[in-house]
Structures are given as C-alpha cells and as structure tokens.
Amino acid sequence: MDRRKLLGMIGAASAGAALGPVSAQAHPQGGQAKSSPPGNHHLHFCGIHCAKRDPRIQIVTQHYCGMLDDGMHQCLLYDSTGPHARLLGVEYIVPDATYRQLPQGEKRYWHPHTYEVLGGGLVAPEMPPDAEMAFMQGLLTTWGKTWHTWPDPTTPVPMGEPMLMWSLTGDGQDAPGLIAARDKQLGVSTPQLRKQRGAAIGYEVPAVPRPQDLDTIGRQWTASGEDKPTVRR
C-alpha cells in the first residue's frame, strides 16, 4: 500500500473516532427530542388525494395535523397508520375567509373540501360520531394546499418532482374499488356517512368537474354560476 492511501485510511479512522463521542454526547437519549413540532400533530383523519395534473392518480392518505394561528392547520401525510408508514408530503388547511384573500394566481394551488365532507370521502374513524360530525362541519368550507414529495409510494425512495394534489369534487371521480377498500380497512361506510352528513349539514352533495389543467381555480359547490350550496331537498 502506498503512503498516500495509508495516510488517507488513518485520517478517516481518526475522523470517525473524533465524531463518535461528540455524536453520543449530543444525543444522550438516542436522539429522542423531549418535545418537537410533530408532537402537536394529534388530529388524525383520512382522505383521498388525486394528482391535479392527472386525477386518475389517486392515493388514500392519512393526515396528522396540528393547528396554527387563525384557524390554519398543517398536516403530515402518510400512506398508512403503521409505525413504518411512508411520509408522502404535507398539506396546509385554511378557512374560506383566508382563501378569499389570496392572490388569484395563488388560488390555483388550493383545493376545496366540500365534496369530500358531504360525499363521505373524509373520515376520522378514531373520533366519536358526534365529535367527527362537528369536525367535518368545521372542515366543510376550508381549502387545502397539498404537495406529495413521495409521488409514488411503491418506489423504494421518493422519485421525481413533488406533485400537486387535488380533492375529489364530484360523484364518479374515485377510482373503482378505492373507497370500498378504504372503508373496509377503517370499518366505515361512505354511503352511510354521506346520508348522515347531508341530513345534519343540510346541503346537497356538490358536483364540480375535475380540473381541466393546472391553472384551474377550485370551486366548492357547482360547476358554473354563483358558487354557493344547494339546500338539501
């Protein structure tokens, strides 16, 4: 072995020895923080995200959210609820009044939650029924801005660019069998939730078509005209 390689090995070994004790001293409890921002993300619910550029790409997504000021929530998104769930991305949720104040160009990133609530697509199975109903009523007119940084959770590592996600906004937009499989896994019934929420909230389920392109601005209730709810018949 030549002298240059030998010195390089000695240098690497010395660096490792120096870093080891420092790292241990910096994390005496194995790197576990006493408190951290994710500790505030106690609110859990489940929804279906679809890619805005191609709504046929749909992923059942677990939301773990914490509240900031002015009614805004920020959420960590996972592909399951297990200990080895993959972190798919993030979502920010704001009240309707906040959304209305956004620049027009910014609004194209935000999707509505009205259909998801009234159609039964959003569920919070860990909440008691009364608490879930109150939560859904509060979520009804909010807007979400969602980026999946792991666009395809079947890949071993996150691949490609972050993907702007959207919500289901009308009947028939969900992939065949997706909601049924989600319902079976979580022990819920989307048709039953739809009926219960319609009666409690008093509005018809919205019918808004899929986005035509990435610049489409979201609508909460109707495809055209004044965007307001229809009272339930």
Look at residue 3 in the predicted model and tell me its pLDDT: 41
- Residue at token pair 């319902």: 183
CA distance 208 to 137: 19
Give the start-to-end residue ranges of the domains of the chain. 41-201
Distances from the Cα of 216 to the Cαs of 77, 149, 225, in angstroms?
24, 21, 15
In this structure, what token pair is assigned to residue 132?
């879930």
Burial annotation 130-144 (CB, 10 A radius, 16+ → b, else e): eebbebbeebbbbbb
Give strand ranges (E) for the chain.
43-51, 58-67, 73-78, 87-94, 110-112, 143-148, 163-167
Look at residue 15 in the predicted model and tell me its pLDDT: 34
CA distance 65 to 20: 36
Look at residue 198 in the predicted model and tell me its pLDDT: 96
In this structure, what token pair is assigned to residue 217?
């601005």
Look at residue 69 in the predicted model and tell me its pLDDT: 75
Asked whether the beta carbons of 219 and 233 are under 8 A apart, the reply is no
Helical axes 190-201 vs 129-139, angle rounded to 10°: 70
Look at residue 36 in the predicted model and tell me its pLDDT: 61
| 10-14: long-range contacts, CB 8 A cutoff, minimum separation 24 | none
Asked whether the beta carbons of 193 and 123 are under 8 A apart, the reply is yes
CA distance 95 to 2: 67
Task: Give how far the C-alpha of residue 26 lies from the chain's centroid of Cα atoms, to the nearest Å.
Answer: 33
In tens digits, what is the pLDDT along the chain, a chain of 233 residues?
Answer: 444 433 333 333 333 333 333 333 444 445 555 556 666 778 899 999 999 999 999 999 999 998 887 789 999 999 999 999 999 999 999 999 999 999 999 999 999 999 999 999 999 999 999 999 999 999 999 999 999 999 999 999 999 999 999 999 999 999 999 999 999 999 999 999 999 999 999 999 999 999 999 999 999 999 999 999 999 98
